[in-house]
Structure 1
Amino acid sequence: MADTYIDGQWGVGDGAGFESVDPATGESVWQGHEATAAQVDKAVSVARQAFGAWRLTSFDHRAEILTRYAEQLVARKEDIASAISSDMGKPIWEARTEAGAMAGKIGHSINAYQERTGHKAGDGFSLSHRPHGVMAVFGPFNFPGHLPNGHIVPSLLAGNTVVFKPSELTPQVAAIMVECLEVAGLPAGVLNLVHGGRETGGALLNAAIDGLLFTGSAKTGTAFHKHFGGRPEVILALEMGGNNPLIIREPASVEAAADIAFMSAFITSGQRCSCTRRLILPTGSFGDQIVEALVARIAKVTIGHGEDEVFMGPVVSAQSAEAAIKFETELIAAGGKPITELDRFDNAFLRPGLIDVTDAQTPDEELFGPLLQVIRADSLDAAFARANDTRFGLAGGLVCDSPAIWEAAQANMVAGILNWNKPTTGAASSLPFGGPGLSGNHRPSAYYAADYCAWPVASQTSPTAISPAMIGMT
């Protein structure tokens, strides 16, 4: 099976073999080989050679190719959804929404480039933008198509070339993306694909790249940041998740509030970086009603695989399921009081868990799994303080019918994505995606990806040479 794509040619990795396992069934759904350091270096070298011509291609032509790419993504929507679902266990309906978002990304990215990094000129000045060079894109497992696509598309539009390493847990969709770009007419060498785990990724980090675009864990992103310490010439765009709070303060509908909290915490089996991890409720009967409503929803949530009409699939692997159970155990040891414990069944399937950690000394960590921590706060100020008691700052939310409280939340909550009466997982490609603290390095993606894919050139201009005025000259 071909598993590398370098200089427009499909090939086979020279490294160790590995496979992708469907977390719902335990069956192998993809087999391939890791790219070696030599193959990674070749991919980067090819990308460097292709950069010279690609950066001089007109933006309109690059946009035409990417528009045709969008058409191919639409045509192969079912292939993309099937690959995502079998690699990571996403229900097919959700995998289809990811495939649709991939196609929708192109139009947003074209608009973003023109608005944020296009050419501007005035009387005696001009502002233009130039690409960096060779960009390394590391893809995550939770959105193996949409998130790397969100780096690749604006990179190519800006005139960069790309070496793409997908997550080793979810490799299948990458080949479909490359095939769609081939049909769209992307020149050879402009996008190159290498598969593999830690060693392949390390080789790409050590290669002669001009930028690293990464979505993943804080631990890995921080290690990458340290790796490039003292090298300001390499642009880094790191999105590293969050320990996200959702505050509920007595809205009109308990049921609507519980639905928002449930969706925020458990969509994608809790494996979105914007999922709610901490639910902050008032003390008293209203908070009790929200907890009771969540327990009822957990009891009847539909869990399954593939074509099943279900809300949740499994987590990405048996190891991830074990990590979630271990994290829950640690919360209990720290003083957490289980309300509904995680229930593991059939390899990587987990029924959601709910745990009260109001008085516990909990770790400030992001768990990728369906476990929601409940915190009680007596006052709004106390709720804001608990919400901000984290090193992260990606997402947050407020469920409340009071505009005044929403204004207070906007003034006090620290989050790059802050939603009102909407799930914390709601994000638009026409807006930036990112946050402060340990959630990233102040390079938000989505609509703002154009910012880190090009650098500005500010020029003072005159059509003819004019001697400048010189003080003291006669």
Structure 2
Amino acid sequence: MTQTPAKESVLGTSAAVFPKSHEKITNPKDTPYFVDNEFRFSATKDFIDVHDPATNNLVSKVPKMTTTELEEAVASAENAFPVWQNMSTIARQQIMFRYVALIREHWDRLAAVITLEQGKTVSDAKGDVLRGLQVAEAACAGPEYMKGEVLEVAKDMETRTYREPLGVVAVICPFNFPAMIPLWCIPIATITGNTVVLKPSERAPGAAMILMELAEKAGFPKGVINVVHGAHDTVNFLLDAPAVKAISFVGSNKAGEYIFAKGSANGKRVQANLGAKNHAVVLPDSDKDSTLDAIIAAAFGAAGQRCMALSAVVFVGETQNWLPELVERAKALSMNGGFESEADLGPVVTPESKTRIEGLVASAETEGAKLLLDGRGVKPPKYPNGNWVAPTIISEVTPSMQCYTEEVFGPVLVCLQTESLDQAIKLVNENPYGNGTAIFTSSGISAERFRKNIQAGQVGVNVPIPVPLPMFSFTGNKKSVAGGGANTFYGRPGVNFYTQLKTVTSKWAGRDSQPIKTTLSMPTHS
């Protein structure tokens, strides 16, 4: 039997009370799960430690939930579905309005917990919350999204379309956007009438738990949104659960390809946004200062732990002479704990991430690349035990090098050179990933040539991270999308993913209609 504590005592934070420093927590709490609008503590004996990346001090423990507890969560969502499905879209919209207001009220609190668990600077964590909040705001247009169509297809006959929810949907989240990714999915899935089982990253679960507290306060009925915890076994449980009709996943290629294959084999809809190697192509006619500033921000923000980070720059022609200035700007960045006001970037998430990143930097040296700026071994004096990798810039990189073929997912920028725009386009297209890319130029002709020929889902023209706002959708390509499947987390494409179209053709003959001779021929509706 699991213990059900009072809601007020569980999370230990509020809109006014939340972490403001990396000070060690004396008595770290276990992270609860969330079922039937209740926070519950798991009966498991198996936990995963959550550490502050700036200090590696223990923050909390995440349970590897028992099978019985996982079954409770899915059953809760399944039981809530009939009532939630039959609630009017207008009524669901009113709850979403309240949810949006509460997220905005608790913005600072959410950002602080992200900084503590994930390592982002406070300002970057606020951006994490904002981009998720924007999706929730857009989801308030649910009545518009859920409209059907009607056409009179013949005399006294019409066809109507209806959008209907799928049922229980699962969301499996990464560590790098603890608020944004849950909010990519929860608002669109619920406004369309689905119920949700969310699995936050075991490395940074705190923001998701706050979002659950706010969902209950906003008026979501019991069971509409539930949270489970764990690692591989929890994911496999969701992939196998017959009640789960769809899976949304953001994360690594290895995990995402497995989830796509197994989920699809089990008859579920699956959308999976995976790894990336996003390129910036720099032409000589671009504005040097704004281009270099954009590259610095997009490469090293969030310590490079973004699937849309600019991790590769292709300098075309004479722009390779801009490298020394790029290095000087990167040197000026302040790496520090995320709560420090002057911090431009924080640590990477775990010691294992640091080791992996440093190994890829070392491989570049071994393979003949040139380290213009080496961030290994650099650490802020105040936090010597954190997972620190400072901004790193590698030049003379070739497409066969490991630092280029693999996603680094850290503050490491690899630099390549070509002599023409066409060569740059060819180089980018030959890379197996296709999340996003950007071109920096003052030429409309060059920008349009790039746009037409580049193979990437999201293209920026003088925009370094061209992630669309919620009226559009996230649009990856190539190996950045599992199995060539859907990658449509929000906007109208997101509504399409979370709903099933039903067409109904009706015939209502009037009293003055002439009798129609019975026929066995295929109807022509004419």
TM-score, normalised with respect to structure 1: 0.94
Mapped partners of 2:517, 2:91: distance in 1: 43
Equivalent residues of 1:72, 1:184 under 8 A apart: yes
Equivalent residues of 1:255, 1:293 under 8 A apart: no
2:328 matched to which residue of 1? Answer: 296
2:499 matched to which residue of 1? Answer: 454
Note if 1:227 corresponds to 2:271. Answer: no
Note if 1:4 corresponds to 2:45. Answer: no
Larger Rg: 2
Gaps of at least 5 residues in structure 1 are none
1:366 to 387, 395, 407: 407
Note if 1:443 corresponds to 2:495. Answer: no
The one-letter code matched in structure 2 to 1:297 is R
2:249 matched to which residue of 1? Answer: 214
The one-letter code matched in structure 1 to 2:103 is L
1:422 to 448, 456, 463: 463
Mapped partners of 1:59, 1:133: distance in 2: 15
Mapped partners of 2:391, 2:376: distance in 1: 7
Deviates more, 1:413-422 or 1:324-333: 324-333
Equivalent residues of 1:304, 1:312 under 8 A apart: yes
Q: Deviations over 1:164-213 (max 9, x none)?
A: 11000001111110000000111111111111222222222222211111
Local SS of the residue matching 2:393? strand
2:108 to 69, 78, 90: 78
Gaps of at least 5 residues in structure 2 are 1-29, 153-157, 522-526
Taking the TM superposition and a 5 Å limit, the aligned residue runs for 1:365-384 are 365-384=406-425
1:131 to 155, 165, 174: 165
Q: Quick one: percent identity of the two aligned structures?
A: 24
Mapped partners of 2:285, 2:397: distance in 1: 21
The one-letter code matched in structure 1 to 2:395 is D
The one-letter code matched in structure 2 to 1:4 is Y
The one-letter code matched in structure 2 to 1:184 is A
Taking the TM superposition and a 5 Å limit, the aligned residue runs for 1:339-358 are 339-344=372-377, 345=379, 346=384, 347-358=386-397
Mapped partners of 1:415, 1:190: distance in 2: 35
Cα offset, 1:121, TM superposition: 2.4
Residue 186 to residue 395, structure 1, CA distance change in 2 (3 Å): same
Cα offset, 1:254, TM superposition: 1.3
Taking the TM superposition and a 5 Å limit, the aligned residue runs for 1:55-454 are 55-111=85-141, 113-114=142-143, 116-123=145-152, 124-208=158-242, 209-231=244-266, 233-284=267-318, 286-289=319-322, 291-308=323-340, 309-344=342-377, 345=379, 346=384, 347-359=386-398, 361-363=400-402, 364-424=405-465, 426-440=467-481, 441-447=485-491, 448-454=493-499
Local SS of the residue matching 1:303? coil
Mapped partners of 1:377, 1:242: distance in 2: 21
Q: Considering only aligned residues, what root-mean-square deviation do their CA atoms show, in Å?
A: 2.0
Deviates more, 1:300-309 or 1:171-180: 300-309
Local SS of the residue matching 1:279? strand
The one-letter code matched in structure 1 to 2:245 is D
Local SS of the residue matching 2:284? coil
Mapped partners of 1:252, 1:33: distance in 2: 51
Q: Deviations over 1:337-388 (max 9, x none)?
A: 2221232333312111111244351242222101111110011110001111
Mapped partners of 1:162, 1:146: distance in 2: 16
Mapped partners of 2:477, 2:509: distance in 1: 46
Q: Paired residues, what number?
A: 469
